[in-house]
Every structure is written in C-alpha cells, then in structure tokens.
Amino acid sequence: MNMVRWGIIGCGDVTEFKSGPGFQKAKNSTLVAVMRRNGELAKDYARRHNVPKWYDDAEALISDPEVDAVYIATPPSFHKEYTLRAAQAGKPVYVEKPMALNSEECQTMIEACKKAGVPLFVAYYRRALERFLKIKELIDSGTIGDVRFVNILFFQPNPIDPEKELPWRVLPEISGGGLFVDFASHMLDFLDYILGPITSVQGLASNQLSLYPAEDIVSGAFRFQSGVHGIGTWCFSSFRKNDNTEIIGSKGKISFSTFDAQPIKLTTLNGETEYAIGYPQHIQQPLIQHVVDDLIGIGHCPSTGETALRTTWVMDQLLKQ
C-alpha cells in the first residue's frame, strides 16, 4: 500500500477542522468517502471538503472497495460496533477517543482486530504533538532527574445549560461518563506515554450539581508501574478555569497546560525556563501521519488499541465510587 484511502464514519464537528483535513493533507493519504446517518449533512460535508463520495449507511462505506481504512468519529457508544464491522471487512481502524464506553469494550475491539489481522489506532493525538514531545524529551533526558510524583488540577465553571437538551458528552450511556472522560482521557493517556502504565488506582466520583446523569467531579490517586505516584482532581462546577499538571522530579519540575497554549515551564535549582510551543492548524494531522506511515510500512504509530485500553481502564477505576 503506497496510498491510504480513508473513509470517515460520523463526519461531525470534530472532523470539520481537527481531524478531517488531516487525512487530506498527510503524505500518502487521501479522504475518499464520508458517512453520516443524515444523508443531507453527509452530502454537505463532502461538498465543502471536496470528498468524492458520501453515504448515509456505515456498511456501505465500510464495504466500499476504494476505502482502505476507516476513521470512526462517532460518539463512544458506537465505537465498538463500527470497529468490529470494519475489522470483519479487513479494514484498519482509527477510532476517536475515548476508545469505548469501558475497558471491556476496548478489549473486545482489540481482540476483533487481532483476529482479523488489522491494526487498531486511537486518536490520542498529544502523543504526536511537538508541544508534548518537548515534555517527553525533558523527562527522558533526565532534566528533572528521577520523576517522583504527578499532580493534576483541572477545573472549570459548569458549561451545561439545564434549560437546553443535554449534550451527549454528559450522558454515560453514550459517552461512557461525563466531561471527566472527555478531558481526563487526554491527560491520563499522555502520562501513560511519558511515564509508563498506571497499575494502581483509587478514585472518588460525585455529582455535586445534579444537572445531568454523569459525574461532575472526580478525584483520585494512582501509582505508575515505575513507582511514580500521582494525584488528580477534575471539577466541572468551579468559579473559573484552571488547567495545570505538574511533574516533579529529584532535580526539578515541569508545569504545563494540557489544553491551552500557555508556555511549558521548567523549574530547577538553576531557575525557570519557558518553552512556548503552540499547536498545528489541524491538531490531529501529526498523529494521522504516524498512522499512515504505520499502514504503509515506513513508521510506527504510538497510539494503539493496547495503549488506549490502559487509559480507559484507569478511568474505569476512578469512576467506580
């Protein structure tokens, strides 16, 4: 395979700018088909993005002989179904995060793809962004010495209007949880990438505002396989926004925002250094390039079903109580 021809299932908001154009701009990659249950919306997307084909039926897209690989950009409740159907058709899968509703579904998806002999990738794109690779470089080079612990503090005002229809992201049967799952999945997956797997977790989850079915605050403690400790609090009903993660080592610490473009701060006994590294135009394009390179045999993608399963398992543990 010298060129990967992509089909998208679920061409909603995330595909408009974050991911969709990345399939067209990545090397050795092209977007040939999109699908949405509302055919008129699929047709409109195809027209605006110069995509040759559109469908209102997922099976038609999956079985299209001109589609080599499938990107699943639906809400998480559909990830398992479409992954299994694509795998059965022998098509590689790139699925949105979080990977599925829970770790059991993730495992089923992994097993189905292994049985079919097709790769499974997950859209934890921070593993490929320059900003986050700089943090990995600082840790791998020993700049802050041996990592001792991690502290995550994320909070924001309530973004949900109770007078309007609830968005699917706060309905556990569709999203797997609340806004915690949407945001924390990125944070926890990146920590898995730079510090290794988390193997021990204890958490507390509550619904303090009672505005929707899912939790709106989660706190927890965890330990990495390496022995590094971590704590985190994610609150979605506070007075203002805060997004800060600190990685503390024996010789210094790194502070950074996961979602904003604030400079990365390195603090050692010699002082403080800032690294101002922003984001690319299409935030998923660097990871999409890794996926394409993996599929054509010239590279390796760092975000797979196996790595994403670990992140979902950690979230499952944090949400247990």
DSSP SS3 for 182: helix
Q: Please name the residue ranges forming H helices in the chain.
A: 13-16, 20-25, 39-48, 58-63, 79-88, 103-116, 130-140, 172-175, 179-195, 285-295, 305-318
Task: Report the share of the chain in percent with pLDDT over 90.
Answer: 99
pLDDT of residue 292: 98
Q: Say if residue 4 is exposed, middle or buried (CB neighbours under 10 Å; 0-12, 13-18, 19+).
A: buried
> Is pLDDT above 90 for 162?
no
The band of 184, judged by pLDDT with boundaries at 50, 70 and 90, is very high
Domains and CATH numbers, the chain: 4-125 (3.40.50.720), 130-278 (3.30.360.10)
Report pLDDT digits (tens) over 251-302. Answer: 999 999 999 999 999 999 999 999 999 999 999 999 999 999 999 999 999 9
What is the DSSP track for 186-243?
HHHHHHHHHH--EEEEEEEEE-SS-SSSS-SEEEEEEEETTS-EEEEEEESSSSS-EE
The band of 26, judged by pLDDT with boundaries at 50, 70 and 90, is very high
Does this model's pTM top 0.85? My answer is yes
Residue in the block written with tokens 């694509």? 86
Please choose, from the candidates 141, 156, 178, 139, the residue with its C-alpha nearest in 3D space to the C-alpha of residue 256: 139
> Is pLDDT above 90 for 1?
no
Report pLDDT digits (tens) over 40-93. Answer: 999 999 999 999 999 999 999 999 999 999 999 999 999 999 999 999 999 999
Whether residue 255 contacts residue 264, with contact meaning beta carbons closer than 8 Å, is answered with yes
In one letter, which amino acid is 285?
A: Q
